[in-house]
A and B are shown apart, each in its own frame.
Chain A
Amino acid sequence: DTGVSQNPRHKITKRGQNVTFRCDPISEHNRLYWYRQTLGQGPEFLTYFQNEAQLEKSRLLSDRFSAERPKGSFSTLEIQRTEQGDSAMYLCAAGVSGNTIYFGEGSWLTVV
Chain B
Amino acid sequence: AQSVAQPEDQVNVAEGNPLTVKCTYSVSGNPYLFWYVQYPNRGLQFLLKYITGDNLVKGSYGFEAEFNKSQTSFHLKKPSALVSDSALYFCAVRERDDKIIFGKGTRLHILP
Q: Which residues of chain A are near B43, meaning CB under 8 Å? A: 2, 4, 6, 91, 103-106
Given the interface pairs A41-B105, A43-B44, the reply to whether A31 lies near B90 with Cβ below 8 Å is no
User: In this assembly, does A48 line the interface, its C-beta being within 8 Å of a C-beta of chain B?
Assistant: yes
- B44's partner among A50, A91, A98 (CB-CB below 8 A) is A91
The A-contacting residues of B in range 14-71, CB under 8 angstroms, are 34, 36, 41-46, 49
The 8 Å CB contact of B105, one of A2, A33, A42, A98, is: A42
Per the bound structure, the CA–CA distance linking A41 and B45 in Å amounts to: 16
- A62 cross-chain contacts in B, Cβ below 8 A: none
Chain B nearest CB, measured from A61 CB (Å): 14
Q: Which residues of A contact B100 (CB under 8 A)?
A: 33, 45, 93, 101
SS class of chain B's interface: helix, strand, loop or mixed?
strand
Contact B101 A45 (CB under 8 A): yes
For B42, B46, B98, B101, which residue has the most chain A Cβ atoms within 10 angstroms?
B98
Q: B104–A42 contact, CB under 8 A?
A: yes
Q: Could you tell me how many residues of chain A have their Cβ less than 8 Å away from some Cβ of chain B? A: 27
Q: Which residues of A contact B49 (CB under 8 A)?
A: 100
* Interface flags, A29-54, vs B, CB<8A=1, else 0: 00101010000111101001010000
Q: Which residue of A lies closest to B49 (CB)?
A: A100
- A window 61-112: CB within 8 A of B: 91, 93, 97-98, 100-106, 108
Are the CB atoms of A103 and B45 closer together than 8 Å? yes
**A45–B45 CA distance with the chains assembled, in angstroms:** 17
4 other A-B residue contacts (CB within 8 Å) besides A35-B102, A93-B44, A108-B41? A2-B45, A41-B105, A42-B102, A106-B41
Enumerate chain A interface residues (CB-CB to B < 8 A). 2, 4, 6, 31, 33, 35, 40-43, 45, 48, 50, 55-56, 91, 93, 97-98, 100-106, 108
Q: List 21 A-B contacts (CB under 8 A).
A: A2-B43, A2-B46, A4-B43, A31-B98, A35-B102, A41-B105, A43-B90, A48-B98, A50-B98, A56-B99, A91-B43, A91-B44, A98-B98, A101-B46, A102-B46, A103-B36, A103-B43, A103-B44, A105-B42, A106-B43, A108-B41
